[in-house]
Amino acid sequence: MVNTRVELCGLPLDNPVIPASGTFGFGYEFAELYDINCLGTFSFKGTTLSPRYGNATPRIAESDSGMLNAVGLQNPGVEKVISEELPKLAQCFDKPVMANVSGFSVEEYVATSQALESCAQIGWLEINISCPNVHGGGMSFGTSATAAAEVTRAVKAVTRKPVIMKLSPNVTDIAAIAKACEDAGADGISLVNTFLGMKIDLKTKKPLLANKTGGLSGPAIKPLAVRMVYQVYEAVNIPIVGMGGITTAEDVLEFMLAGATAVEVGAANLISPYASKQIIDALPQVMERYGITSLEEIIGKGH
């Protein structure tokens, strides 16, 4: 009998598989297809203080071994998330959920986090300082160690929930930024978000996405993501949530050996709504194949 349980920032997970923000809505949509309580947890749609309609279309494009997206944080705003989305989720999900918080100023990150603090359903705040598809905020906070630390300190001051900082891979030294977040009080690090990319339409001879650039995700980025998780594990002493191109149970083990305590599944959910469930179902058998009895025991063992 294998043990798939892990602990993320003091909260237990039945398994380390977490659908990533922006690929799983607010959860109840997927609950129409299967019992989502099989998940470790999930990170719900990126939430801002005010409602956002997102970027102009087209904002999704296929790419070799992946996809580009420039959705632009479309969401109903934190007030409606609390009053409408979370009550719907409560009817089909009985575990703590991860809230993904985005913003365009330190004050907005603080206000949104403060609003979510009173929600008993929320177990963790995943602070997204790494979105490459919005202007005037988003990724800019995640490309500077000083700015990343400032957001971390400000959010930690208004919440007792574990704060996990979601970092951008579009930087020179991701380990230094992760360390700055840890020093500022972060409880965990989430990485990586998408890589900035572009696709040009040969018919129009212009960028295919209305936003011109978008975030590349999917299997194409997995080796880069594994490398960054490996580097950050050697720089910090707080848990890491690893992501980037995960499609199989074997991928989960690889990220955990690199140093991840849990993993997020993103683009795979957009290819098949059952992707996360299938990975969870396969995990015990794959663990047995590689002689692994407990997932907690392999975290960082690739070092």
The answer to whether position 283 is within a domain reads yes
- Segment 245-292, tens digit of pLDDT: 999 999 999 999 999 999 999 999 999 999 999 999 999 999 999 999
Instruction: Quote the tokens at residue 143.
Output: 């490309």
Q: Which domain holds residue 138?
A: 6-56+73-196+218-298
Res. 208: pLDDT tops 90: yes
Which of the following is catalytic: 9, 119, 131, 181? 131
pLDDT at 139: 52
- Segment 112-140, tens digit of pLDDT: 999 999 999 999 999 999 765 444 445 56
Q: Which helix (H) or strand (E) holds 106?
A: helix 106-116
**Number of domains composing the chain:** 1
Q: What is the number of residues in the chain?
A: 303
Rounded distance between C-alpha atoms, residue 301 and residue 16, angstroms: 16
pLDDT at 135: 47
| Helix extents (H) in 184-248 | 222-233
- What's the Cα-to-Cα distance from 54 to each of 125, 240, 254, 293, rounded to whole Å? 22, 29, 34, 44
Contact assessment for residue 30 and residue 24, using Cβ atoms and an 8 Å cutoff: yes
Contact assessment for residue 243 and residue 22, using Cβ atoms and an 8 Å cutoff: no
The answer to whether position 190 is within a domain reads yes
pLDDT at 141: 79
pLDDT at 54: 93
Place of tokens 């360390």: 179
The answer to whether position 210 is within a domain reads no
pLDDT at 140: 65
Helical pair 222-233 and 249-258, crossing angle rounded to 10 deg: 30
* Angle at CA of residue 264, ends 209 and 77, nearest 5°: 60
pLDDT at 241: 98
pLDDT at 82: 98
Distant-in-sequence, close-in-space partners of 1: CB < 8 Å, separation ≥ 6: none
At residue 18, what is the residue type? I
pLDDT at 171: 94
Res. 182: pLDDT tops 60: yes
The answer to whether position 239 is within a domain reads yes
Q: Which of 40, 51, 44 is nearest to 16 (CA)?
A: 40
At residue 58, what is the residue type? P
The answer to whether position 208 is within a domain reads no
Question: Which SS3 state, helix, strand or coil, does residue 276 take?
Answer: helix
Contact assessment for residue 50 and residue 107, using Cβ atoms and an 8 Å cutoff: no
Cβ count within 10 A of residue 118: 9
The answer to whether position 49 is within a domain reads yes
Q: What is the mean pLDDT of residues 78-105?
A: 97
Q: Which of 88, 86, 113 is nearest to 100 (CA)?
A: 113
181 catalytic residue (yes or no): no
Contact assessment for residue 192 and residue 225, using Cβ atoms and an 8 Å cutoff: yes
**CATH number, domain with residue 171:** 3.20.20.70
Place of tokens 């001879």: 205
Look at 139-143, 194-198, 292-296 and tell me which has the smallest mean pLDDT.
139-143
- Segment 219-251, tens digit of pLDDT: 999 999 999 999 999 999 999 999 999 999 999
pLDDT at 173: 96
The answer to whether position 268 is within a domain reads yes
Q: What is the mean pLDDT of residues 20-26?
A: 97
Res. 205: pLDDT tops 70: yes
- What's the Cα-to-Cα distance from 23 to each of 159, 258, 271, rounded to whole Å? 26, 24, 10
**What is the rounded average pLDDT for all residues in the chain?**
95
Contact assessment for residue 128 and residue 140, using Cβ atoms and an 8 Å cutoff: no
The answer to whether position 246 is within a domain reads yes
- 180 or 138, which is more confident: 180
* Angle at CA of residue 194, ends 189 and 199, nearest 5°: 175
Res. 21: pLDDT tops 80: yes
Question: Which SS3 state, helix, strand or coil, does residue 6 take?
Answer: strand
The pTM assigned to this predicted structure is 0.96
